[in-house]
Amino acid sequence: MPTASDLAPSQQAKAPVILLEDVGVRYRLPSEKIPTLKEYVIRSLRGQVKHQTFWALQNINIEVYPGEVFGIIGPNGAGKSTLLKVVSRVLRPTKGRVRVVGKVAPLLELGAGFDFELTGRENIFLNGAILGFSKREMEKRVERIVEFAGLKDFIDAPLRTYSSGMVARLGFAVATDERPEILIVDEILSVGDTEFQTRSFERIQSFQAQGTTILLVTHDIGRVETMCQRAIFLSHGQIVASGSAARVVDRYLGRIRQREEVRLAEAQTEEQPWRWGNRKIEITKVEFLDENGQPKNIFQTGDYFALRMEYEAHEPIDSPVFGMAIHHNDGTHITGPNTQFAGLDLGRVEGKGSVLYEVERLPLLEGLYKVSVAVHNVNDSEMYDDHDQGYQIRVIRNKNSEERYGYLTLNGRWLLNG
């Protein structure tokens, strides 16, 4: 169960407003696709429908305290939206205990419950009724809702004439017009244009300042770190990590980097259409290394970086030139050092060997980069082996560096003279 040690003492002294104990949600899915309801019923009566069990959530234990902003992160299909539906009482869990204290405003699917044949104004009253407000209460709020949604010129038009963004804006404005005790937010901070996104975020921040408990699901990791005190990392319906938002985000990003490392490594096969040359000298293996000599495909700006090429010369070759080049994923050629430019003569090369190119502090900024390697004769008139943009590395931003635009850092410093 997530620890409450990261909370302020005033929060720890209170009872949780959201409590989930050993919660699980199980679905039974048909093992094969049945095209019509009629055929499904017939097969079901004959006992011919086979099902498989799928647990969308398993062993979920969470405590969320009054006034806390609690983050839920994880990849698509991890069970985040299912968890929010359980807390919102939209979905009953298969097992476990759920206790929620206070009025809940779930922002799950904005516009759900709207009638697209009715006008925007009529849908405000309809959605208000669904949320439990009387017509008299909604009459006092309608103009305020219209103004916040920015739909004054369209509010008396049928909803079917609205764009999806306009529908979501109206849904958000209705659902958040009154400050709830518990706000459940599922990826809605990207609703509408930039101006509306800013106002939506500011409204949620104002709720937070007034003591609303917020359950936040978002892929915006920066938002989780800045808004949330604690968080959980969900994967395949189970909690992988829990605790302070910073620790959970680090664990989540670490998992992403591990998978990216595997993907980048698997993409580097020996034979590809981008390889050419007469193979008198053959580049047999290419690796990127960290400061400990361990293979690595993801680096931070400022990290030690090395490229090692293993080769086999199938005949004696005098003074071959080994080189590498780095291209940004957008095609821009960044650099192309080689042994000849460095004044290094390798002499006569025979059999197997390796060459290493190392950089003490990698100057590349965040992005995906493609790396070429090649070996040719000293006059650059004969190509022995060329792997054109056949390898990939990813560079992630160093948290200690504020530089983020372009391809390279100059590692410079600013001084004030005068």
* CATH code (residue 249): 3.40.50.300
Q: Are residues 236 and 105 in the same domain?
A: yes
How far apart are alpha carbons 297 and 290 in whole angstroms? 9
- What are the DSSP calls for 346-379, one per residue? --EEEEEEEEEEEESS--B-SEEEEEEEEEE-TT
Q: Are residues 247 and 349 in the same domain?
A: no
Q: Are 346 and 300 in contact (CB under 8 A)?
A: no
**Does residue 268 lie within any of the structural domains?**
no
pLDDT, residue 412, reads 84
How far apart are alpha carbons 63 and 92 in whole angstroms? 18
pLDDT, residue 189, reads 58
Burial class (CB in 10 A: 0-12, 13-18, 19+), 49: middle
Phi, psi at residue 297, to the nearest 5°?
A: -120, -5
Q: Are residues 27 and 156 in the same domain?
A: yes
SS3 content of the chain, % helix, strand, coil (to 5): 25, 35, 40
pLDDT, residue 23, reads 95
pLDDT, residue 383, reads 96
Q: Are residues 75 and 123 in the same domain?
A: yes
Q: Are 200 and 165 in contact (CB under 8 A)?
A: no
| Assessment of whether the complete model's pTM goes beyond 0.75 | no
Structure tokens at 233: 């990392």
User: How far is residue 16 CA from its own chain's centroid?
Assistant: 29
**Does residue 263 lie within any of the structural domains?**
no
**Does residue 74 lie within any of the structural domains?**
yes
Q: Which of 385, 389, 391 is nearest to 276 (CA)?
A: 385
Task: State pLDDT tens for residues 75-116.
Answer: 988 999 899 989 988 889 999 999 999 888 777 666 667 888
**Does residue 88 lie within any of the structural domains?**
yes
Q: Are residues 225 and 330 in the same domain?
A: no
How far apart are alpha carbons 240 and 71 in whole angstroms? 14
pLDDT, residue 403, reads 80
**Does residue 348 lie within any of the structural domains?**
yes
User: Which one-letter amino acid corresponds to residue 164?
Assistant: S
* CATH code (residue 386): 2.70.50.60
How far apart are alpha carbons 269 and 370 in whole angstroms? 14
Q: Are residues 68 and 213 in the same domain?
A: yes
Q: Are residues 229 and 371 in the same domain?
A: no
How far apart are alpha carbons 216 and 189 in whole angstroms? 10
* DSSP letter, residue 15: P
**Does residue 279 lie within any of the structural domains?**
yes
Domain finish residue from 212, 230, 258: 258
**Does residue 84 lie within any of the structural domains?**
yes
Domain finish residue from 211, 229, 258: 258
Domain that holds residue 44: 9-258
| Rg of the chain over all Cα atoms, to the nearest angstrom | 29
Q: How many domains does the chain have?
A: 2
pLDDT, residue 122, reads 93
Q: Are residues 290 and 347 in the same domain?
A: yes
- The 10 Å CB-count burial string (b at 16+, else e) for 223-261 is bbbebbbbbbbbbebbbbbbbbbeebbebbeebeeeebe
pLDDT, residue 111, reads 62
Per-residue pLDDT of the chain (418 residues; tens, 9 = 90+): 555 556 655 555 578 999 999 999 998 776 667 777 777 777 777 776 676 788 999 999 999 999 999 999 999 889 998 999 899 888 899 999 999 998 887 776 666 678 889 999 999 998 888 777 888 989 999 999 999 988 999 999 999 999 888 888 888 888 888 888 998 887 665 656 677 878 888 888 898 889 999 998 888 888 888 889 999 999 999 999 999 999 999 999 888 888 888 888 777 654 465 889 999 999 999 999 999 999 999 999 999 999 999 999 999 999 999 999 999 999 999 999 999 999 999 999 999 999 999 999 999 999 999 999 999 999 999 999 999 998 999 999 887 777 878 899 988 888 887 6
Q: Are 324 and 368 in contact (CB under 8 A)?
A: no
**Does residue 3 lie within any of the structural domains?**
no
Q: Which of 143, 196, 144 is nearest to 169 (CA)?
A: 196
Domain finish residue from 200, 231, 258: 258
Q: How many helices (H) and strands (E) does the chain have?
A: 9, 18
Q: Are residues 61 and 189 in the same domain?
A: yes
Q: Are 324 and 336 in contact (CB under 8 A)?
A: yes
Q: Are residues 182 and 327 in the same domain?
A: no
Q: Are residues 227 and 316 in the same domain?
A: no
Structure tokens at 97: 């205990």
Q: Are residues 19 and 143 in the same domain?
A: yes
